[in-house]
C-alpha cells in the first residue's frame, strides 16, 4: 500500500528517488475511479488495484498533495513543525535506527 504518509516518510529519511517513484504510483492510484478519473477513492483492492469505497475523499487528496509537496521541496510542513516542538527528553530516548529485513518485525 502506497500512501501519502509513506512517501513523506521516505522524504524524511532522505530516500528521494524512492519517494518520487512511489509518488508517481500514488498519482496513478488516485487517478483511477469507478465513475470518472481522479476520484481519490478511499482505498484500492490489495490484489487487483481496483478503486474501492467512496470516491472524492478529501483526506486522500490532501495526503497526495502533502506527499507531492514533500517530494518537490524536501519539507513536511506539519511534521517538521511537530518534530521541532518535541521535548528534548522525548528526543533523547528515541530509537531512530532501522533496517530492512525480509518479513519485517524484530530481529
Residue 98 pLDDT greater than 60, yes or no: yes
Q: Does 101 map to a domain?
A: no
Q: Does 64 map to a domain?
A: yes
> Confidence class of residue 95 from pLDDT cuts 50, 70 and 90?
confident
Q: Does 102 map to a domain?
A: no
pTM: 0.76
Boundaries of domain holding 40: 4-92
Q: Does 41 map to a domain?
A: yes
38: cell is 481522479
Q: Does 106 map to a domain?
A: no
Q: Does 56 map to a domain?
A: yes
Instruction: Indicate the number of domains in the chain.
Output: 1
> Confidence class of residue 103 from pLDDT cuts 50, 70 and 90?
low
Q: Render pLDDT for 2-42 as a digit per residue (tens, 0 to 9).
A: 689 999 999 998 999 999 999 999 999 899 888 889 999 98
Amino acid at each position: 500500500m502506497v500512501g501519502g504518509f509513506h512517501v513523506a516518510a521516505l522524504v524524511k529519511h532522505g530516500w528521494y528517488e524512492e519517494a518520487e517513484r512511489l509518488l508517481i504510483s500514488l498519482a496513478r492510484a488516485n487517478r483511477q475511479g469507478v465513475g470518472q478519473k481522479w476520484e481519490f477513492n478511499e482505498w484500492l483492492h490489495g490484489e487487483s488495484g481496483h478503486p474501492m469505497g467512496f470516491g472524492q475523499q478529501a483526506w486522500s487528496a490532501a495526503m497526495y498533495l502533502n506527499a507531492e509537496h514533500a517530494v518537490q521541496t524536501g519539507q513536511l510542513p506539519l511534521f517538521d513543525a511537530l518534530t521541532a516542538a518535541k521535548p528534548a527528553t522525548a528526543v533523547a530516548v528515541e530509537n531512530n535506527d532501522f533496517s530492512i529485513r525480509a518479513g519485517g518485525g524484530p530481529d
